[in-house]
């Protein structure tokens, strides 16, 4: 069965578009990590301390706006 006119051109365009998007996303991730590490190495930035998943954040007993209801 013959291919319709332009089918290979459309498929080629789709492949190149997909490759371009994937490569550009990968490059942005890599370059941003390099830039961020370089910026952090020049300053005295401290790594943020991550709270434990349970019991790390105090839960308020009651909300203040509930006391002012009329």
pLDDT above 80: residue 63: no
Tokens of 41: 């190495």
Top-confidence residue, 2 or 7: 7
Top-confidence residue, 48 or 11: 11
* Cα 57 to Cα 3: distance, rounded to the nearest angstrom: 63
The per-residue pLDDT for 15 is: 94
| pLDDT tens-place string over residues 16-37 | 999 999 999 999 999 999 988 8
């Amino acid at each position: 069965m013959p291919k319709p006119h332009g089918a290979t051109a459309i498929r080629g365009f789709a492949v190149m578009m997909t490759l371009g998007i994937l490569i550009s996303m990968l490059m942005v991730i890599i370059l941003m990590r390099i830039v961020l590490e370089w910026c952090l190495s020049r300053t005295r930035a401290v790594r943020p301390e991550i709270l434990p998943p349970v019991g790390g954040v105090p839960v308020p007993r009651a909300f203040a706006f509930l006391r002012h209801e009329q």
